[in-house]
Chain A
Amino acid sequence: MYAAHEKVYPREVSGRFATLRWVAVFVLLGLFYGLPWVQWDGRQAVLFDLPERKFYIFALTFFPQDFYLLTWLLIIAALTLFFVTALGGRLWCGYACPQTVWTEVFVWMERIAEGNWTHRIKLDRGGLTAQKLRRKVLKQVMWISFSLFTGFAFVGFFVPVRNLLPSLLAGGVGFWAWFWILFYGFATYGNAGFMREQVCKYMCPYARFQSAMFDRDTLLISYDAARGDCIDCMICVQACPTGIDIRKGLQYECIACAACIDACDPVMDKIGHPRGLVRYSTQAEMDGRKSRFLRPRVIMYGALLSLLIGGFAVALSLRVPVTVDVLRDRNTLYRELPDGSVEDVYSIRIINKDQSPHDFRVTTTGLAGASVDSDMTLHPVPAEAVRTVVVRVRVPPDHAHGGQDFQVLVQAADAPRIAVRSRARFFAD
Chain B
Amino acid sequence: MNSVDGRERLRDWSPVRQTIMVVAWCSFVAASVETMGFFAYLDPATVGCTQLPPEAPAIRHAAYAIGFFFFWMSTVVAASLTAYLLCSSRRTGH
Tell whether, in the assembled complex, residue B40 and residue A2 are in contact, meaning their CB atoms are under 8 Å apart: no
Most chain A CB atoms below 10 A, which of B11, B25, B26, B41 = B11
Instruction: Note all chain A residues with C-beta closer than 8 A to B5.
Output: 234, 238
Query: Which one, B6, B11, B15, B58, contacts A238 given CB within 8 A?
Result: B6
CA distance A195 to B17 in the complex (A): 12
Within 8 Å of chain B (Cβ to Cβ): is A128?
Answer: no
Which residue of chain B lies nearest to A240 when distances are taken between CB atoms in the complex?
B6
Given A2-B14, A4-B14, A118-B4, do A176 and B62 touch, yes or no (CB 8 Å)? Answer: yes
Tell whether, in the assembled complex, residue B58 and residue A174 are in contact, meaning their CB atoms are under 8 Å apart: yes
Query: Which one, A6, A8, A52, contacts B1 given CB within 8 A?
Result: A6
Instruction: Note all chain B residues with C-beta closer than 8 A to A244.
Output: 9
Within 8 Å of chain B (Cβ to Cβ): is A415?
Answer: no
Query: Which one, B7, B12, B22, B60, contacts A50 given CB within 8 A?
Result: B60
CA distance A92 to B26 in the complex (A): 20
> Closest Cβ of chain B: how far from A70's Cβ, in Å?
8
CA distance A205 to B10 in the complex (A): 22
CA distance A180 to B61 in the complex (A): 11
Tell whether, in the assembled complex, residue B61 and residue A50 are in contact, meaning their CB atoms are under 8 Å apart: yes
Instruction: Note all chain A residues with C-beta closer than 8 A to B11.
Output: 3-8, 243
Within 8 Å of chain B (Cβ to Cβ): is A72?
Answer: no
Q: Count contacts between A and B, CB distance < 8 Å.
A: 80
Interface digits, B21-41 against A, CB 8 Å rule (1 contact, 0 not)? 110011000000000110111
Instruction: Note all chain B residues with C-beta closer than 8 A to A293.
Output: none
Instruction: Note all chain A residues with C-beta closer than 8 A to B13.
Output: 2, 5, 198, 202
Interface residues of A in 29-67 (CB under 8 A from B): 50-53, 64, 67
> Closest Cβ of chain B: how far from A380's Cβ, in Å?
18
Interface digits, A371-410 against B, CB 8 Å rule (1 contact, 0 not)? 0000000000000001000000000000000000000000
Tell whether, in the assembled complex, residue A234 and residue B9 are in contact, meaning their CB atoms are under 8 Å apart: no
Within 8 Å of chain A (Cβ to Cβ): is B65?
Answer: yes
Which residue of chain A lies nearest to B61 when distances are taken between CB atoms in the complex?
A176
Given A6-B1, A176-B61, do A202 and B7 touch, yes or no (CB 8 Å)? Answer: no
> Closest Cβ of chain A: how far from B86's Cβ, in Å?
16
Instruction: Note all chain A residues with C-beta closer than 8 A to B60.
Output: 50-51, 53
Tell whether, in the assembled complex, residue B21 and residue A202 are in contact, meaning their CB atoms are under 8 Å apart: yes
Within 8 Å of chain B (Cβ to Cβ): is A121?
Answer: yes
Tell whether, in the assembled complex, residue B57 and residue A51 are in contact, meaning their CB atoms are under 8 Å apart: yes
Tell whether, in the assembled complex, residue A52 and residue B57 are in contact, meaning their CB atoms are under 8 Å apart: yes
Instruction: Note all chain A residues with C-beta closer than 8 A to B43.
Output: 53, 64
Show 22 A/B contacts (Cβ-Cβ < 8 Å), sorted by A.
A2-B12, A2-B13, A2-B15, A5-B13, A6-B1, A6-B9, A6-B10, A50-B64, A51-B57, A53-B43, A53-B60, A70-B36, A70-B40, A118-B4, A121-B2, A203-B21, A234-B7, A237-B6, A237-B9, A238-B6, A243-B11, A386-B52
Closest 6 A/B residue pairs (Cβ): A51-B57, A67-B40, A6-B11, A3-B10, A243-B9, A64-B40
Interface residues of B (CB under 8 A from A): 1-2, 4-7, 9-15, 17-18, 21-22, 25-26, 36-37, 39-41, 43, 52, 56-58, 60-62, 64-65
